Amino acid sequence: MSNISTGRVILGGIVAGIVSDVLDYLVDGVWLAPRWNAGLKALGHGGFAPNQWIGFDLLGIAGGLVAIWIYAAIRPRFGPGVATAIKAGVAVWILGTLLPNAAFMYLGGLFPHHLTLYTTVGGLFEVVIGTIAGAILYRESSGAAEAKLAEMAQNAGV
């Protein structure tokens, strides 16, 4: 089993986060924007401020990093590819979207149930598609450096 390629996790994670953020903007910033504005107004707040969108984007990138780290961790067991990326994306979606939305938005009654449903299902597509995009870039190290060290050790009689 090879080691996780940290550089590839970072690269793939950033890509996963950016793809997820773009899709999130389309879902929540365009399609659901009127519902979000109405829900926020009912709570006595205005719409989302630009600094909040930046915060959401940074959280999206953090989620992308976690998704690709999980992908890299489960890849040896499930194999590389889309199916494994979907598994990693669903795990991140459950922990990062489904459970918080169910707790705070639905059970807490902060927002209408339809908004909760739409943004949560939209989040599934955002996170999974982002994870697939990031997983495409992830490659494990070839092990060439380790093989060279083993060869040198063998030649040295170690």
pLDDT digits (tens, 9 = 90+) for 48-85: 888 999 999 999 999 999 999 999 999 999 999 999 99
pLDDT, one tens digit per residue, over 76-103 is 999 999 999 999 999 999 999 999 999 9
Full domain range(s) for residue 48: 13-155
Q: Would residue 54 count as lying in a domain?
A: yes
Q: Which of 38-52, 57-71, 143-157 has the lowest mean pLDDT?
A: 143-157
d(CA 79, CA 5) in angstroms, rounded, equals 15
Number of domains making up the chain: 1
Looking from the CA of 42 toward its CB, the CA atoms found within 13 Å total 10
Q: Would residue 26 count as lying in a domain?
A: yes
Q: Would residue 48 count as lying in a domain?
A: yes
